[in-house]
């Protein structure tokens, strides 16, 4: 596991707040402006510093608590589904970890796009709650074989699989996808560091895409599109077209308890820290 750089290290990548100071060369942000931010560390604090390009203006109608939960989960879900996954109306998609931040965003976006939406979660209760966000078919991975069920429900396999779990789960996602299906790998939240075999792609003309949002936000050829995409999603949440789900709120001084709750796999949506 890679160790954080710098000491002391302040964890956390998402935050929202009010700008208290801007650099001398910043022209498009100003003191007093409400923004949502992302960055490699620094959000587990009462103040943080970020590049102006990673601070998105937040409409007055949107709570900062919800704004903090958009840039990475919704931006990642949107890119995985459409920019890289090429999802179209009438296709089917399997979304792993449906009750996570990325999962909830992806379910809403895929349903809105006219896709048939399948998702996995660890309990029937979570799957039942996901129906109100657009889920058509839920699979309890704790007691069901998602490969078998997803293939049965879709008549041969989903056109797209979004997998934030990694390891052996990713290997099975490749087996699960339809002929010429696409699998987007986005992280390894399952902590399984097993290097997956790509055998499940062979003979089926399937595609495996490995996605990292940080690269899209920084790459010269894509950063304008990717950053504008996050701004659009913030606006859509503010307009009520998409929903941010906040499970629990903790004080900064309770960060350890917040992380313990996340690690317990009980969460449904986002867990946030308040200064």
pTM of the entire structure? 0.95
The vertex-104 CA angle with 129 and 44, nearest 5°, equals 115
Span 124-158, pLDDT tens digits: 999 999 999 999 999 999 999 999 999 999 999 99
CATH 3.40.50.720 fits 72-214, yes or no: yes
Give pLDDT tens digits for 236-267. 999 999 999 999 999 999 999 999 999 998 99
pLDDT at 3 over 80: no
Q: The domain 14-70+219-274 is classified under which CATH number: 3.90.180.10, 3.30.2010.10, 3.40.190.10, 3.90.79.10? A: 3.90.180.10
The residue ranges of every structural domain in the chain are 14-70+219-274, 72-214
- 39-54 pLDDT, tens digit each: 988 899 999 999 999 9
241 and 62 in contact (C-beta within 8 Å)? no
Are residues 190 and 167 in contact, defined by beta-carbon separation less than 8 angstroms? yes
**Distance between CA atoms of 69 and 267, rounded to whole angstroms?**
14
Q: Which of 73, 75, 33, 39 is nearest to 57 (CA)?
A: 33
- pLDDT tier, 194 (very low <50, low <70, confident <90, very high otherwise): confident
């Amino acid at each position: 596991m890679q160790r954080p750089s710098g000491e002391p290290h302040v964890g956390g990548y998402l935050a929202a707040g009010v700008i208290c100071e801007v650099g001398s060369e910043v022209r498009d942000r100003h003191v007093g402006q409400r923004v949502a931010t992302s960055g490699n560390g620094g959000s587990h604090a009462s103040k943080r510093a970020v590049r102006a390009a990673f601070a998105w203006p937040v409409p007055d109608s949107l709570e900062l608590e919800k704004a903090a939960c958009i840039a990475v989960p919704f931006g990642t879900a949107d890119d995985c589904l459409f920019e890289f996954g090429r999802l179209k109306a009438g296709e089917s998609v399997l979304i792993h970890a449906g009750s996570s931040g990325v999962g909830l965003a992806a379910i809403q976006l895929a349903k809105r796009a006219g896709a048939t939406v399948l998702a996995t979660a660890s309990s029937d209760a979570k799957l039942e709650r996901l129906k109100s966000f657009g889920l058509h078919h839920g699979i309890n991975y704790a007691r069901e074989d998602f490969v078998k069920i997803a293939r049965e429900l879709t008549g041969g396999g989903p056109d797209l699989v979004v997998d934030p779990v990694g390891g052996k789960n990713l290997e099975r996602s490749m087996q699960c996808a339809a002929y010429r299906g696409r699998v987007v790998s986005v992280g390894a939240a399952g902590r399984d560091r097993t290097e997956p075999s790509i055998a499940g792609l062979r003979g089926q003309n399937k595609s495996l895409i490995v996605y990292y949002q940080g690269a899209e936000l920084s790459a010269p050829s894509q950063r304008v599109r990717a950053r504008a995409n996050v701004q659009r999603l913030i606006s859509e949440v503010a307009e009520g077209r998409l929903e941010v789900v906040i499970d629990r709120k903790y004080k900064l001084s309770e960060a350890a308890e917040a992380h313990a709750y996340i690690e317990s796999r009980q969460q449904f949506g986002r867990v946030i820290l308040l200064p």
